[in-house]
Every structure is written in C-alpha cells, then in structure tokens.
Chains A and B, each alone.
Chain A
Amino acid sequence: MWEQIRSNKRRSVTLVMLIAFILVVLGFVIGEAVQPGAGPFGVAVAVLIWIIMSLVAYFQGDNILLAVSGAQEIEKKDHPQLFNVVEEMTIASGVGAMPRVYILNDMALNAFATGRNPKKSAVAVTAGLLGRLKRDELQGVIAHEMSHVVNRDVLFMTMVGVMLGSIVMISEIFLRGLWYSGGSSRRYRSNRGGGQGQAIMMLVAVVLAILAPMIAQLIYLAISRRREYLADANAAVLTRYPEGLASALEAIAGDDQVLEHANRVTAPMFIANPFAKAGRFAAGLTSTHPPIDERIRILRSIGGSVSFQQYDAAWRKVRGRERGVVPSSALAQETAQAVRPASEEGEQDKRQRMREAGDLLRKVNQFIFLPCACGLTLKLPPDFKKDKVSCPRCHKELEVPVAQLATAAQLGELMAGQTQAPLRVAASKAPQTPPSGPPLHVTRQSNQWTSFKCACGQVLHLAPNDPAPEVTCVGCGRKISVLNR
C-alpha cells in the first residue's frame, strides 16, 4: 500500500504540473493580449491567485467542507458502533490517529472523508447511511473513505481542485472583461503599438480562456475517477471482504434521495456521486465518480482471495481493457489474502438500526428526550416551548427533569467518601466543592436517550447504555452526578 501511495504521489506530480502548465500559459497569453510585454506580469498574477487559494484550501479546507455540508461532530457514546468501525479501520490502515467522526444532517446515503494528513483527518457519514447499512457494509464504506485519507487523495484533489478553480476564475474574469468592454475595446488597446500581433494574441487568449477550464476539468475528473477505483481496491484489501463494500454501494445506488448540501467542487469527496439520480446514466467523462454498477460488478468479480492484483484483474475483466487501473508498483510486492466470512450480527433488526440513527440525529439537532414510565420515549423538537407535555399513550403529564441539588442525606454520604450507598451515589473522588455551587444530581429513569436540564437552563442528554457516573454541563461547567434508578 505504501508503494501505491508513492506511485500516486508521482502521478500526482505529473498531472499537477500539467494543470500548472495550463495555468501559467493562460496567465501569460492573457497578459500578452491585454498589453504586449505584460506576459510575465500575467503569469505572476495567475500564480499569486493560485497561491492564495491554495493556502486557504490547505489550512482550512477540511473545516470549510465540514461546515458547508452541515456536519456535526459526535462522540463515542453517541453511536458506539460507528466509532468502533472507524477505530477498526484506523488500526487496519495504520493511519496512526483516530479521525474525528461527524454525522451529516441528511437521510440520503453518502459519506466522505477529509484531512490533509492522516493524523488530522475527519470522516463524515449521513444519518441515512447509518440507519440503513449493516455492520459489514458500514465497514466497507469507512474503509473506502479512510483509503482516500491514507492515499493522500484528499490533499491531492483539494490542490488540483484549487488549481482548476483558479483557471476557471482567471478565464471568467478575462472573458467578462472583454464582454463588458464591448466593441470599443479601448482598455485592451495598447498605445505602444502591437497591432496585428496583439490581435492574434487576443484571439489565442480567448480560445484558451474557453478551452482551458474544459481541459482542466477533464483532467480533474479523470483523476477523480481513477482515485475512486483505487480506493475501492484498497477498501477490499483492508477489510478482506469486498462483498461488504459491494452491498453498501448497491444500497446507495438504489436510494432515490439526493444529498442536499453537495456542490460541484465538493462532489469528488463523497463516496457516491451526489448528483446521480437512481436509474439515470450519470457517468462518463463528465462525472466525478465511475458508474456505481460497474464498481459493484468489479468488487463482486473478486474471487476467494483479495489483493490489489485480484482487483486489477477484475477491473480489466469488467471493463474489457488491457491496461489495469492499479499502478504497477502496488502490484509488485504483495500476497493475496483469503476473503473472510461475513460477520454475524446480533438480534438487532432494521427498524432498531433506523431508530438509533434517527435518535442520534435528533440528539445532534437538540431534540429533547422524555422517557415515560409506560415505556414510550417522547422526542420533542427543540422549538417546543411549553413546560409540560402529555404522553400520547398513557396521558401522563411529563416535564423535562431538572438536575436536583443533592439531599442532605446524599451530601452526607458524599462527604463521608462512601461509594456504596442504597442510591448508588456516583463514585466520584473526595469531594471538592465545584466553584459553581453545591453538587447536583439527576436520576436516570430509563436506559434510552434521556434529556434533563442543568441548573443554568442548559438541556443535556444522556446516551443509552452510557455508564459514566457524571456529566459536565456545557453551559456552566458544573458536574452533575448520574444515578441509576
């Protein structure tokens, strides 16, 4: 895999130089067309624009992408299975540091990963994906995303995307300038002569300004598609289970919903083309992703043992090509590994999965969870203003519990440092009165998502099955002990 990274880097450099060349030529030609002798100045301006955009993209690229997609960071207790799967893939890929995990506020099925280096990466998954995929399929998707991070695809695609953006921008500015100055192109006429030579230059500049964005886009898309195949191969090798990713892609392909927050620039980052509607032919030269059914077929053609060579052979068979897609340096030094059997899932059925994903989405969107004694859990939207609500099943009046001050008896036990008491007082260390007042506690009524209010009014949530004996209020910093009923 390391060979592949190095080979990717080499290919990247070549293609980057190609696009850089286009950028420089464009700058020069436009400069010359505006004013003879201003060619080098045009180059300088083009390069400056590119440098500024690159710096912004490099340092803030992932944060921008996460913010634009509406991603919310989650912790392990919010969805242990997702975290476990990401941790497994972290170990398998040798990335070194666990990525930040985000959830996207969307019921469409998609995922992406960002990160300019593997130590500081992030993985984002839509709630729809989380609710729909089985464990093996989720593992395949996360493996694919983390392969992008490990192969430095993210960094590469960002840089190339920025270059493409610069080319497009420069071309647009130039062409628009021409258009608006209309017939009397006085701005573009030079007093120092030039005449016919300059007219030709102008023509070249216009042609290039139209063509350059197109060419650069084609290069960009070709790179993007190739990288997707390689990430698929990498995921199959990491998980030793290509069927996982194949069935995940099948589920994604069969889903009709369109992702809300995607745009043309961020599209390559997602696992499936966010603009493809199911059943429409959304592939070819102008697509950032290879056609999804082809990806599925390739993965399913891999036999009982998986390696880059096997994927390459399957790719060649399905596409009927002579040359493969995997760089030869990656094919050289590896042995095929046996495909593992499917992992067996517990009693959880599909509705339970969807419910968990939905709950996570609600928690992240500040819903309020009120478990009722009759077994129903009410989930109130954040703009629910009333104090009390009646349970639809048993008609009992419920309100959001407020963390209580410890009673004198409980305080006494805390002071005595006892950790075993009938009420299971939280096993906190020897009491230091927190700066913000006497200790608060809340009693947990059910093992589901539960909400309560801190003394400062902040609504806090307790995750299901979370054994943590205390929580810290995000509003005021007080520590609140959690007691189980």
Chain B
Amino acid sequence: MTPMLVLLAILVLLVIWVIGIYNGLVGLRNQVKNAWAQIDVQLKRRHDLIPNLIETVKGYMVHERQTLENVTKARNLAAQASGVAQQAQAEGNLNRALGQFFVVVESYPDLKANQNFLALQEELTSTENKIGFARQFYNDQVMQFNNKIQMFPSNIIAGAFNFQASEFFETEDAAEREAPKVSFS
C-alpha cells in the first residue's frame, strides 16, 4: 500500500514539474511575440513622423524636391511592406533616404535653428532609439527563450510539445545597421 502511495506522490510531483516548465516556455514564447510586435509599433511611429518632417522643411528647402520625394517614396514603400524580409529591406531603404535628407539639411542654418524642426529632430532621434531598444529587447527575449528550449532539462519538454526556436533580428546589410546620423556639428 505504502509503495503505491509513494509512487503516486512522485508521479504527481512529476506532473506538476512538467506543467511548471511548460507554462514557463509558453510565457517566454509569448514574450518573444510581444517583443516583435513592439518593434512594429516603433517602425509605424517612424512612418507617421515623416510626413510632418517633410511639411516642416518644405518652406525652407524649395530646391531640394528630389531628396524630399525620395524620402516620401521610401516611406510609403516601407509602410506597405509585408513579411520580414521585405520589411527589413524597405526599412533599410528608408534609412538611406533619411541619411541623404539630413546631409542636405546641414546646409540650411535657418532650418537648423527652427524650433519646430528641433522638436521634430528630437522625436526622430527618440524614435530611432526606440526602434533600437525594441530590437535589443526582442533579441534578449529570443535568447532567453532559445536557452530554455535548448538547455537540459527543459529541452525534453520543449521537444515533446514541439516548441520552435526563434530567430534573432539581424540586419543583413552592414549599411543598414547604421541609423541615419542626425548630426549638426
């Protein structure tokens, strides 16, 4: 009788342990998805800021139509992109267009001192930072999740319930890694 009880107790503990690890894995996976969505939120925010930027500088940069158009086109493409690869490429293009734009801005001292423009520049800098931090956070979550899946003993349960490792967010192109330099020195 007693050995049966002991066996039962062990079985119950085992089940509880498995449930605990399973829930932990599910929680981490949801964190990863959440972190990915955060990146999207910040990217969309950048898209929304850019029309304001164009409006603010239009009065000053009357001769730079081509540059402004490039930025607008790149922004529209990025806003419509779907799928990870396409999105990454569109965002890279947008980065480059913005880089060119800010190079041109340097030759307009009146614009650089304009209050509206300075406020907008702060918003853009902050958005770039937020995109960076969102990516950083996503990668941290992915690392945690992958660790849990691959390390013993949780890898047993991960394998049993078919948890897949996630991908890190890495940009392929080295030029894309650089955020556009918003420098006015």
CB within 8 Å of B: which residues of A? 1-2, 80-81, 84-85, 87-89, 91-94, 135, 240, 333-335, 337, 343-344, 346-348, 447, 464-465
Contact = CB atoms under 8 A, between A and B. Distances in A.
A447 B38 contact: no
A347 to B, nearest CB: 5
A344 B122 contact: no
Given A84-B126, A88-B126, A91-B38, A346 B118 contact: yes
Contacts of A80: 119, 122-123
Contacts of A347: 112-113, 118, 184
A91 B118 contact: no
A334 B185 CA distance: 37
Given A2-B144, A84-B122, A346-B184, A465 B115 contact: yes
Interface string B88-118: 0000000000000000000000001101101
B123 to A, nearest CB: 7
A465 B115 CA distance: 7
Interface residues on B, range: 20 to 34
Q: Which of A81, A87, A94, A135 is the most central at the interface, judged by chain B CB atoms within 10 Å of its CB?
A: A94
A2 B140 CA distance: 11
Nearest to A334: B143
A94 B122 CA distance: 23
Q: Which 3 A-B pairs have the closest CB atoms?
A: A84-B126, A92-B133, A465-B119
B137 interface: yes
Contacts of B182: 344, 346
Which of B116, B118, B136, B144 has the most chain A CB atoms closer than 10 A to its own CB?
B136
B118 A88 contact: no
B86 interface: no
22 contacts: A2-B144, A80-B122, A80-B123, A84-B122, A84-B126, A84-B129, A84-B130, A88-B126, A91-B42, A91-B134, A91-B137, A92-B133, A94-B35, A94-B141, A334-B143, A343-B129, A344-B183, A346-B112, A346-B184, A347-B112, A447-B116, A464-B119
Contact of A346 (B31, B35, B121): B121
A88 B129 contact: yes
